[in-house]
Amino acid sequence: MFELILPFFFLFIFLLAITIIWRINARKYISSGTVASAYDAWTQDKLLERLWGEHIHLGFYPSGKKNIDFREAKVQFVHELVKWSGLDKLPKGSRILDVGCGIGGSSRILSKYYGFNVTGITISPGQVKRARELTPSGLNCNFQVMDALDLKFEDGSFDAVWSVEAGAHMNDKSKFADEMLRTLRPGGYLALADWNCRDLKAYPPSFFEKLVLKQLLEQWVHPYFISINEFGNILKINKNSAGKVISDNWNVYTNPSWRDSIIEGTRRPFSILSLGPLAIIKSIREIPTILLMNWAFSKGLMEFGVYKCRG
C-alpha cells in the first residue's frame, strides 16, 4: 500500500514546492523599474528566447488551426497584423516606431520584408543589448532604452507606430496612447495588439475569476488590464487621432499559442537542458501562469485585442 502511495506523495511535494516558489517569487508591478528588471532577468537567463524564439508574443493560427509550428506562427502574426492594419501600404524607407520591441523580432521582420526604417524601444537594457546582437548590420533597425510613457521623439516623427503586447505593462493607458499618437505623423498608421480583459463593469468577474486575474497581474508585472472597448475609446478621443479606430478580438487566432508554449519544451528539450538544472525549475515555474492564461483567454475572461487607426 505504501509503495502505491509513495509516487503520489512525491508528486504532491513537488507540486507544493513549485506553488510555493511561484508565490514567493511573484513579479508584482510596482513601477516601470519592476517591468525592466523582469525583462532583464528573462533576457539574461535566455530561457524565454530558447523556448519562444526571437518573438516574445503570441502566434497567429489561421482559423484556429493547431498544426502550425509555434515559431512560424509568431512570424505569421507579424505579417497578419501588418496586412490588417494597412502598414503594407507604406513605401519602403518609411519610419516605424516599435514600442515595446523586446529583443527585436518584429522590428527585424518590418525592416527585412517591408523595407522599413525601424526604431525599437524597450524599457529593458538587457533586451536592447540582445536585440542589437541578433540584428544583422544590413538591416535598418536601431534599438534604444526608453520608457513608452515618455518617448524622446519629436511630434510626428514616424510614419507608423507598432506595438505588440506592451500596453498591459503600462500603468497609464491614456498616456501610453498619447505618446504613441503624438509621435505619429498626420495620416500615419497605428498598429497595436495587446492583452485585454473583458468588460468587467458590464460582466463582473466571479470570485474565482478575480483570483485568476490577480495571479495574471502579479506573476508577469501587469498593473491592470482594461477591455478592448475601453482602450479603443481612449484612442478615439485622443487629440492626435483621426477619430476612426477599428478594433477586433483575435482570440480564435492566437489562443493555440498558450498550449504550444508549454509543448515547445518537449519539442526542443535541449533548449532547456543546455541551460542547466536551474532552467528546468524556472521553466516549470511558469507553467501555472501559462495554464491560467490559457484558461482565461479560452473562457473570454481575457481577450486579445488588435487596434488600427490613422494619425
Whether residue 279 lies inside any domain: the answer is yes
Q: Mind listing the pLDDT tens digit for each residue in 12-55?
A: 444 444 455 444 557 899 999 999 999 999 999 888 898 899 99
Provide the H-helix boundaries in 138-276. 173-182, 207-219, 228-236, 251-254, 256-267, 269-273
Q: 293 lies in which domain range?
A: 29-310
Query: Would 3 be classed as within a structural domain?
Result: no
In a domain, residue 162? The reply is yes
pTM score, whole prediction: 0.91
| Three-class SS state of 96 | strand
In a domain, 9, yes or no: no
**Between the CA atoms of 176, 182, 187 and 193, what dihedral angle is there, to the nearest 10 degrees?**
-10
C-alpha cell at 196: 485585454
How far apart are the C-alpha atoms of 198 and 225, rounded to whole Å?
Answer: 9
133 belongs to a structural domain: yes
In a domain? residue 38: yes
Establish if 64 belongs to a structural domain. yes
Report if residue 24 sits inside a domain: no
Q: What is the CATH number of the domain that holds 217?
A: 3.40.50.150
pLDDT of residue 10: 44
Question: 262 pLDDT exceeds 90?
Answer: no
Please state the domain count of the chain: 1
